[in-house]
Amino acid sequence: MAGELGGPRLAARMADVRESGTVELMDRARQLRARGQDVVSLAGGEPDFDTPAGAVEEAVRALREGFTHYVSSRGIPELRRAIAGKLQRENGVAYDADTEIVVTVGAKMALLSAILVLVEPGEEVISFGPAWVSYQPMVALAGGRLVAVPLRAEGGRFAFDEAEVQRAVTPRTKVLLVNNPHNPTGKVFSRDELAFLAGLAREHDLVVIADEIYEHIVYDGRRHVSMASLDGMRERTVTVNGFSKAYAMTGWRLGYLAAPAAVASAALAITQQTTTCATSFAQKGAVAALTTGGGAVAAMVAEFARRRQFLLERFRAIPGVELIPPEGTFYAFPRLPGDTPSTEVARRLLEEKQVAVVPGSVFGEAGEGFLRLSFSCSLGELCRGLDRLEAFFRGG
Ligand SMILES: Cc1ncc(COP(=O)(O)O)c(C=O)c1O
CA of 10 to the centre of ligand 1 (A): 27
Task: Say whether both 83 and 161 belong to one domain.
Answer: yes
Q: Look at residue 236 and tell me if it is in a domain.
A: yes
Given a contact cutoff of 8 angstroms between Cβ atoms, the answer to whether 270 and 58 are in contact is: no
Q: Look at residue 313 and tell me if it is in a domain.
A: yes
Tell me how many domains the chain contains.
2
CA of 141 to the centre of ligand 1 (A): 17
Task: Say whether both 352 and 256 belong to one domain.
Answer: no
Condensed to tens digits (0 to 9), the pLDDT of residues 180-229 reads 999 999 999 999 999 999 999 999 999 999 999 999 999 999 999 999 99
Chosen domain end from 292, 316, 346:
292
On the question of pLDDT at 256 being above 90, the answer is yes
- Boundaries of domain holding 159: 69-292
Condensed to tens digits (0 to 9), the pLDDT of residues 144-168 reads 999 999 999 988 999 999 999 999 9
Give the model's confidence band at 1: pLDDT under 50 very low, under 70 low, under 90 confident, else very high: very low
Q: Ligand 1, residues 108, 178, 182: which to mutate, most atoms within 8 A of Cβ?
A: 108
CA of 110 to the centre of ligand 1 (A): 10
On the question of pLDDT at 32 being above 50, the answer is yes
Q: Look at residue 151 and tell me if it is in a domain.
A: yes
Q: What is the mean pLDDT of residues 269-277?
A: 97
CA of 363 to the centre of ligand 1 (A): 14
On the question of pLDDT at 396 being above 70, the answer is no
- CATH number assigned to the domain comprising residue 381: 3.90.1150.10
**Whole-prediction pTM value?**
0.95
Task: Say whether both 164 and 313 belong to one domain.
Answer: no
Task: Say whether both 310 and 288 belong to one domain.
Answer: no
Condensed to tens digits (0 to 9), the pLDDT of residues 62-109 reads 999 999 999 999 999 999 999 999 999 999 999 999 999 999 999 999
Q: What is the mean pLDDT of residues 300-326?
A: 95
Using a pLDDT cut of 70, give the percent of the chain over it. 98
Q: What is the mean pLDDT of the chain?
A: 95
Give the model's confidence band at 4: pLDDT under 50 very low, under 70 low, under 90 confident, else very high: low
29-43, 53-67, 308-322: which has the minimum mean pLDDT?
29-43
